[in-house]
Amino acid sequence: MLTTSLDISSNYNIDPDNVQTLGRYQIICQLGQGATGIVYLVWDPFIRRNVALKVAKTETDKFRENFLAEAQSAGRLSHPNIVAVYDAGSEDDFCYIAMEYIKGATLENFCRKENLLPPNKGLEVILEVCKGLEYAHREGVIHRDIKPSNILLNLDGSAKITDFGVAQMTDRTFTTSIRGTPHYLSPEQVKDEIVSFQSDIFALGCVLYEILAGEKAFPGENSYGVLYKITSTEPRSILSIRSDLPKVLDEIVRKAIRKDPSERYQSCVEMAADLDVALRGILASPRNLEKSKEVADYFQNLSFFADFKKEQLSELTALANIVKFPGGKVVASEGEIDDTFYIILSGQVKVRKGEKDIATIGTGECFGEMAFLGGQPRVANVAAEGDCVLMKITASLLQKLPDSVGLLFFRSFARTLVQRLSKNLEERN
């Protein structure tokens, strides 16, 4: 029970100096306030640690019923990228949810142009949010209120989604009132149509836009202006705001915030796959090596290119991406689906399946051939063992090569496969 009577005003603030406890929770201070409630830092004597307590005024019996039902749904979720829900209940005119307390800041702190995260860090945060949302969606839970202030950044840099459940019970019909400025609502939410997992993806696309561009995808002077833009206009390209960003990020954002849910990413896994490709491109810092005679001479000394003439090798290097990876950096991950094939120009990589190292591949050799040929998930992790330089080959690149060069490539490719199979057979015997 509330041990001290509360002033049920529009703000319904609890003064920690006058109110010491709420149920079993000992109030320490207020952490923040949103449209659906106030969050307090409290001490839970049962589990003997600080927790975050979100308190909302119970406006109707239906509100209370929905609040508790959705809090129970949120309580089922257990994932590293979702704030844990410990308890939920109601006392007098209040409902509350006790949640994991995260020391750190919200992503909202990094949405201003003067304080943006580096692009790679921003993508890492959104990838973690994708992981948490994908798990929730598999459990049948839609967040409905993804926004920067509901994404917490822990002191270790990890991201956690909060306000599951509380968001779902909020009235979103907008027929009589609008709670806050709804910059992250999907068109179907604005129109009071069926909400799906793609609604969360739309919101996440808006968040991605904001942390990259430093401004909202759908700005407006008031809520109704924002709603109009969400349903009827397209945002500025992030490339017109930040020309230093790769084009692929603009494409990812635009796909995530399509008006028609069927045209968006159909799952967070699908969105994460594109984000992962973009992130690897940023971190690997791909750059073309000088297409000089000396470079061609060097490549020609590698076993994979033994049959190439210098002119043919120059044609290949003119189109291929040459990428550099620092030691320990993962090049390919087990389970990912990718048609990329790599040739090691310098250094070596370690192949690891589960917890076991299964091979070391060195200069002049290649890897990724099975994923390249069949489009199957990769069966092992591959990481750079010391700094290495790789030639990155894709199916689309091969289609651009002259027939004579493509034929040479596949001849070397087949020779490498035969040698690898023969070696495996010898080791088994």
pLDDT at 66: 72
* Calpha distance 390→364 (Å, rounded): 10
Q: Which residues of 170-193 are buried (b: 16+ CB within 10 A; e: fewer)?
A: bbbebeeebeebbbbbbbbbbeee
Please give the helix or strand (H or E) that residue 52 lies within, else none: strand 49-57
pLDDT at 15: 53
* Calpha distance 79→91 (Å, rounded): 29
DSSP string computed for 67-119: HHHHHHHHHT---TTB--EEEEEEETTEEEEEEE---EEEGGGG-SGGGPPPH
How are beta strands 366-367 and 104-106 bridged, if at all? unpaired
Each residue's pLDDT, cut to its tens digit, for the chain (429 residues) gives 333 333 333 445 555 445 678 888 999 998 887 666 788 999 999 889 999 998 887 777 777 777 777 677 778 888 899 999 998 887 777 888 899 999 989 999 999 999 999 999 999 999 999 989 988 988 888 999 999 999 999 988 899 999 875 545 444 333 333 444 589 999 999 999 999 999 999 999 999 999 999 999 999 989 999 999 999 999 999 999 999 999 999 999 999 999 999 999 988 888 887 887 788 777 754 433 343 344 555 566 677 888 888 778 877 877 777 777 888 889 988 877 777 888 887 778 999 888 888 888 887 888 887 777 666 778 889 999 877 878 888 777 777 788 888 888 888 888 877 877 777 677 666
pLDDT at 313: 80
Residue type at position 275: L
pLDDT at 35: 64
Structural fold of domain 21-100: Phosphorylase Kinase; domain 1 (3.30.200)
pLDDT at 300: 64
Common-topology check for domains 21-100 and 104-282:
no
What is the CATH number that goes with domain 104-282? 1.10.510.10
* Calpha distance 403→412 (Å, rounded): 14
| Residue from 44, 145, 163, 200 carrying the catalytic annotation | 145
* Calpha distance 354→403 (Å, rounded): 39
Burial class of residue 18, CB neighbours in 10 A (0-12, 13-18, 19+): exposed
Residue 317 contacts residue 296 (beta carbons within 8 Å)? yes
Sheet order of strands, 159-161 included: 104-106, 151-154, 159-161
Q: Which tokens sit at 298?
A: 């060097």
Structural fold of domain 288-428: Jelly Rolls (2.60.120)
Cβ partners under 8 Å of residue 59, min gap 6: none
pLDDT at 49: 92
Residue 131 contacts residue 137 (beta carbons within 8 Å)? no
Is 145 among the residues known to form the active site?
A: yes
* Calpha distance 44→97 (Å, rounded): 12
Residue ranges covered by each domain of the chain = 21-100, 104-282, 288-428
| Angle ∠(418,419,423) on CA atoms, nearest 5 | 115
Task: Supply the pTM of this predicted model.
Answer: 0.62
Q: Which tokens sit at 223?
A: 């809520």
